[in-house]
Amino acid sequence: MVRRCFVVPVMIFIILFALPRTVDGRVVRIEVEDRSVVYDGESTGPHGRYEVIRGKIYFAFDPAHPRNQNITDLSLAPRNDRGEVEAWTRFVIMQPTVVEMRRGIGMVEVVNRGRPAALRYFNDAGGSFEDLASDPASLGDLLLLRQGLTLMWLGWQWDVPRNEGRFRLHVPRAQHPDGSPVTGLVRSDWVVDDTTFTMALGHRDHVAYRPVRFDHPDNVLTRRSGRYADRKVVPRSDWRFGRAVADSVGARIVRDSTKITLTSGFQPGHIYELVYRASHPALVGLGPAAIRDAVAYLKHDSRSIAPVDRVFGLGISQTGRFLRQFVYDGFNTTEGGRMAFDGMMVLTAGGGRGSFNHRFAQPSRDGHRYSAFFYPTDLFPFSTATQFDSVGIERDGLYAHLARPDHAPRTMFINTGYEYYGRAASLIHTTPDGTTDVALAPGERIYHLASAQHVPGALPDAPAPDSTAFLAEHPIDTRPVYRALLVAMTNWLDHGTEPPPSAFPTVGEDTLVPVNALQFPAVAGVEPPGVVHTAHRMDYGPRWDRSRVITNQPPHIGRAFGMLVPQVDSVGNELGGVRSVFVQAPLATLTPWRLRTDARHNTNELADFLGGMIPLARTDTAASASTDPRPTVQDLYPARDAYRARVREAADRLIEDGFLLTEDRAAEIDRAMALWDWLMAP
């Protein structure tokens, strides 16, 4: 039974640690504001009691240091009296209270848009992250604590929404040496499914760059009917920087430098895109530098409040792309020339990197088939191996810019089926044209979670339909696989125990194919995707490669890379990866994709992040009536017990292969049986 937690205020005042300059980073000060134990102060498992430390961490970056030359615009940032550039953020650390019981392995979660997710993904935790020391639900089943890990969260992103207590890195703005503002072009785009009059410049309520002038000639709004359609300029008289309001005065537009209002409204069926001139770009590249130096502080600083020997980074979706960019930009070597991250768990990042280290970068911007178009997200190189792109005439790789070859972290790239459709995932293990498989690095693992969607799924809660229609539910919860691989990562770093071999579809085995070669079963009323998210060679202007400054807004689109998706079996479920019990013992076709069929326009485009489910017909008679070519439930399982036996075999196979923990076996079987009961209910 979970015990009620309470806070023990072992430190109620601020302690300042003024840290001397170290050879591995410049953490100049730690402010510990609160130190509390969790779980009634009792043991949380083999590693004893845990504590939570909250406070602030302050950084300083030397623009002249060789390891900081990869930080965009660092030379243009205001400096302190020591000639350094400063930044700070909140942090939270969890660790065993008894030094001798610590495992010596740290996990730094690079938080997605300021919000921690590790406890939810690995501990099945609910509750509030702010209540770690008082709410049992916030700790879940304690898996991360039972592994003895030292956990750290801190801000790295400057523009997260100013609410909800998110982690934020406070950074300066670039300016010219004479104090005049740096200006440049910024782009925002929108797709709406209902008429809307006002849109925010920032992505997902993030802080926006403000226009230099409302009437600047560079401010241009366009609209187009599709991803590659021609842009048409919206007359300047039809839109304003401001927001539409209705009050006692009446309907009017209030001036607002963070929003635009279109008089006739943003209409469904169009992609709207605003390019405008802004000033004072944030030092976005201090984000990866801060993560680097925080890791260096944990590992190498003699005054670390949470010393560890090894650290792995966790990135989910946006921050998985962050970790790929982090390695590519050379941040995995500290100022002192030592390795930062020893390992990385990169979840659902696909082939992407992102806007994490360029001028006027908007880190929240991603890229999908039908939203957030053509930001610097899906760019060559995609694989860790250095490859030659004969079209772009360049040779590059994620590991090509490491300061030392042995600073490549042990890495797990873990993708779902969605990332092959919506995040260009195939390119991390094929040549740029998609014709040939590429050998992986010795310390690299790639896992494809077959038929899973981008986010963990859940069992349906509505009654099962009588027909085999496409349903907007997806039962595969990917977290049990993540939990097993988390344990494998800690053992990989701690004992050198090899994790499970890579499992992903390949060109050589015909399990990775162009989307038009997909052998999807012909289920009445269901159309598989005819398109996938496509990465292109992009031209952001002549200053992009040299100084990470975009001058082409919008960018020029070049030739596409070779995009491939996993082939499917006779049920329609994906081959070539880690196949959950729901795929090995199928009751439905589980699609990692979903089309925009509920929208009024562009219904053949992919929806972001989500998949769906097409239940199998229960009987041969039902299948004949609908001309369904897939096997029926009756064909596959004579009775409920036969299905249970098949599920048990699948679960045991996953445990044997290292993709399911023994402690999670019963819950996974129960979930599968709940799906049976849902589908077969009279």
For residues 143 and 212, state if they share a domain: no
Q: If you ran DSSP here, which 8-state letter would residue 330 be given?
A: T
For residues 302 and 386, state if they share a domain: no
Q: Which domain holds residue 469?
A: 355-409+416-682
For residues 554 and 682, state if they share a domain: yes
- Pairing relationship of beta strands 588-591 and 536-539 according to DSSP bridges: unpaired
Query: Is the residue at 313 inside a domain?
Result: no
For residues 121 and 209, state if they share a domain: no
For residues 242 and 97, state if they share a domain: no
Query: Is the residue at 327 inside a domain?
Result: no
**What pLDDT, on the 0 to 100 scale, is given for residue 250?**
72
SS3 (DSSP) at 679: helix
Give the pLDDT mean for 221-250: 93
**What pLDDT, on the 0 to 100 scale, is given for residue 240?**
97
**Chosen domain end from 230, 258, 279:** 279
pLDDT greater than 80 at residue 9: no
For residues 245 and 100, state if they share a domain: no
Query: Is the residue at 595 inside a domain?
Result: yes
Distance separating alpha carbons of residues 95 and 52, to the nearest angstrom: 7
Single-letter residue type at 298: L
Please give the residue that has the higher pLDDT: either 347 or 134. Answer: 347
Query: Is the residue at 206 inside a domain?
Result: yes
Query: Is the residue at 329 inside a domain?
Result: no
pLDDT band at 13; cut points 50, 70, 90: very low
For residues 136 and 241, state if they share a domain: no
For residues 660 and 533, state if they share a domain: yes
**What pLDDT, on the 0 to 100 scale, is given for residue 6?**
36
Phi, psi of 45 (to 5 degrees): 145, -155
Per-residue pLDDT of 597-616, as tens digits, reads: 989 899 999 999 999 999 99
C-alpha dist (Å) from residue 72 to 321, 404, 547, 551: 18, 21, 7, 15
**What pLDDT, on the 0 to 100 scale, is given for residue 1?**
28
**Chosen domain end from 228, 262, 279:** 279
Distance separating alpha carbons of residues 474 and 590, to the nearest angstrom: 7
Share of the chain above pLDDT 70, in %: 96
pLDDT greater than 70 at residue 313: yes
For residues 300 and 367, state if they share a domain: no
The answer to whether 310 and 304 have CB atoms below 8 angstroms apart is no
The answer to whether 486 and 658 have CB atoms below 8 angstroms apart is no
pLDDT greater than 50 at residue 4: no
pLDDT band at 23; cut points 50, 70, 90: low
Query: Is the residue at 317 inside a domain?
Result: no
Per-residue pLDDT of 427-467, as tens digits, reads: 999 999 999 999 999 999 999 999 999 999 999 988 888 77
Per-residue pLDDT of 35-59, as tens digits, reads: 999 988 889 999 999 999 999 999 9
Please, how many CA atoms are within 13 Å of residue 559, restricted to the half-sphere of its CB? Answer: 9
**What pLDDT, on the 0 to 100 scale, is given for residue 98?**
95
- The owner of tokens 């079996």 is 569
Per-residue pLDDT of 371-427, as tens digits, reads: 999 999 999 999 999 999 999 899 999 999 999 999 999 999 999 999 999 999 999
pLDDT greater than 50 at residue 10: no
For residues 231 and 103, state if they share a domain: no
Weakest-pLDDT range from 10-24, 370-384, 511-525, 546-560: 10-24
Query: Is the residue at 662 inside a domain?
Result: yes
Query: Is the residue at 346 inside a domain?
Result: no
The answer to whether 169 and 91 have CB atoms below 8 angstroms apart is no
Please choose, from the candidates 632, 522, 505, 520, the residue with its C-alpha nearest in 3D space to the C-alpha of residue 565. 505
Distance separating alpha carbons of residues 207 and 549, to the nearest angstrom: 20
Largest CA distance in the chain: 81
For residues 501 and 627, state if they share a domain: yes
Domain count, the chain: 3
Mean of the per-residue pLDDT values of the chain: 94
For residues 648 and 529, state if they share a domain: yes
